[in-house]
Structure 1
Amino acid sequence: MLGIRRVDRRPEWRERLEGAATRLNALGLYPRPFTLARVAVVVWPGFFAVPGMRGFVGFAAWRLVILRRDVVGDGLLVHELCHIWQMRHHPVRMPLTYLVVPYRTNPWEEEARMAAGEPSRLGGSGG
């Protein structure tokens, strides 16, 4: 139909998501630990055909992570789950920041990149 597949209930995905949650909690970014409760992860390639989304491979919104494909690195899972954690602590401020701060310099993106072990894009030639 729409090509949406929920993957977070599959044992191999559950193990990877639990590992990503453990990595996030080790960082201690927020007072309440991250939990996978009520988090859904779907693979939905068609979502990334929407204008403005074509350059992305993952997207997170409150309790949902959308992935372009089901073969992704653990760093991307950590990055997207970090956004879920951010939204749990700042449910209004975090998403609204994307309306006024460029993606490249957005502090929520910087925090998610750091959590995933990705290089910072501030002041660099990153892409």
Structure 2
Amino acid sequence: MRPDPRVVRAKERLDRLDWWPRPVRIDRVAVFVTPWFFRLPWFRRFDGHAFHVGMLLRSDGVSDDLVTHELCHVWQMQHHPIRMPLSYLLSGYWNNPYERQARAAVAATRPTAAAPSVRPL
């Protein structure tokens, strides 16, 4: 399976960070465009959702920043496959440390970004 070009670009961005012991692996990361999924009540407010081996996107026209954010979640789950998803039950969404880290990864890897400031959990 050939990786989605958006995922390849997101990996290039995340590879600049040394937040986890191993770089993100994308050889099995699948991308699905599933607008119907984002009509479900809990997911209406989102444009992307990550799971262990891929991500769901609301549309093909999402930004590279969103793909990088979701790939960061895949990277987190590659290191903490149980703790990361369960953290949403304990911390919720906005205060979740994994969400904060994914947002920081996007900010730190933008072309004009300064050095990364958030380390692994």
**CA–CA distance in 2 between the matches of 1:14 and 1:58?**
15
Q: Which amino acid aligns with 2:88?
A: Y
Partner residue, 1:121: none
2:77 to 78, 87, 99: 87
Structure 1, unaligned runs of 5 or more = 1-7, 119-127
- 1:34-79 deviation per Cα after TM superposition (whole angstroms, max 9, x unaligned): 1211100010000011121110000001012000010011100100
The structure 1 segments of at least 4 consecutive aligned residues displaced by more than 3 Å after TM superposition are: none
Q: Say which one has the larger Rg.
A: 1
- In the TM superposition, residue 102 of structure 1 has moved relative to its aligned partner by 2.1
Partner residue, 2:61: 71
Q: Give the secondary structure class of the aligned counterpart of 1:52.
A: helix
Q: Give the secondary structure class of the aligned counterpart of 1:117.
A: helix
**Residues 36-115 of structure 1: pairs in structure 2 closer than 5 A:** 36-115=26-105
- In the TM superposition, residue 91 of structure 1 has moved relative to its aligned partner by 0.4
Q: Give the secondary structure class of the aligned counterpart of 1:59.
A: strand
Q: TM-score, normalised by structure 2?
A: 0.84
CA RMSD of aligned residues (A): 1.6
Aligned residues: 108
Structure 2, unaligned runs of 5 or more = 109-121
- In the TM superposition, residue 28 of structure 1 has moved relative to its aligned partner by 1.1
